[in-house]
Amino acid sequence: MRPQDMQTFEEARSLAYGLLGDLRDLLGADFVPGTVPSGLAGAALAEALRHIDAAEDALDRAGLG
């Protein structure tokens, strides 16, 4: 792997972190601050946040190589 390939990967990884953070913020924006959604909305939000966490974890692991 060439050094510039690694730089490009790190730039993409950094951008992905930012986008995942934006998505997390966007998902929470539909609810009144300090409240927790319930029912299907709560379950869907919890699942989406778990997927975001998993994606961030995968980016962390990819950066360790």
Write out pLDDT tens, residues 6-43.
788 889 999 999 999 999 999 888 777 778 788 998 89
Residue 59's domain comprises 40-64
CB 52 within 8 A of CB 20: yes
pLDDT tier, 54 (very low <50, low <70, confident <90, very high otherwise): very high
Domain count for the chain: 1
Average pLDDT, integer, range 46-61: 94
The pTM (predicted TM-score) of the whole model is 0.80
Sign of the four-CA dihedral 10, 14, 19, 24: positive
Q: What is the maximal distance between C-alpha atoms in the chain?
A: 50
Report the C-alpha gap between 54 and 44 in whole angstroms: 15
Check residue 22 and give its pLDDT.
Answer: 96
Q: Does residue 8 sit within a domain?
A: no
Check residue 29 and give its pLDDT.
Answer: 81
Q: Does residue 47 sit within a domain?
A: yes
